[in-house]
Amino acid sequence: GTGEAHLPYQTANGDFQPAPGRAKAEVYSPADLDENPTLSDMTEAALTVLARNPKGFWLLVEAGDVDWANHDNNLDNSIGAVFSGEAAIRVVTDWVEQHSNWEESLLIVTADHGHFLVLDQPEALASSKAEAAPAAAAGPSEKRPASSP
């Protein structure tokens, strides 16, 4: 595992190589990325299992990485966490449209509290990570980089 008891942070450009925030940047091995599912992977697996119940079900999907990223004042991880959440929401909406309908389904997206980033190091926006912004602007991607054997 990551050693930090959480899934690897997706970053703004989807490369899972976090930039440093207030804390030192984490570094993930190919094994870390291979053995840890993404939020959308876990959401899809939960829907597959829960859909077997003929009486219906409810599912709570929760991610703390956006909160941790903001507490770390890490813009890269924060953007990646938003993209990761959006990908999980897309899994749910796609599932409803393929296996159910919106008359029988309810999706609530909320936050447990508000937060904001304090750009106390605006020069970080000019770093090589920020230069990946055009890739981030293209939309979310939870595609993991190919790991080497």
Q: DSSP per residue over 55-100, as a string?
A: T---------HHHHHHHTT-HHHHHHHHHHHHHHHHHHHHHHHHHS
Tell me, what's the pLDDT at 61?
96
More confident residue, 30 or 45: 45
> Which pair of structure tokens corresponds to residue 34?
């291979």
Mean pLDDT for the stretch of residues 95-119 = 86
pTM for the whole structure? 0.73
pLDDT category at 130 given cuts 50, 70, 90 is very low
Break the chain into its structural domains and give their ranges: 30-133
More confident residue, 97 or 31: 97
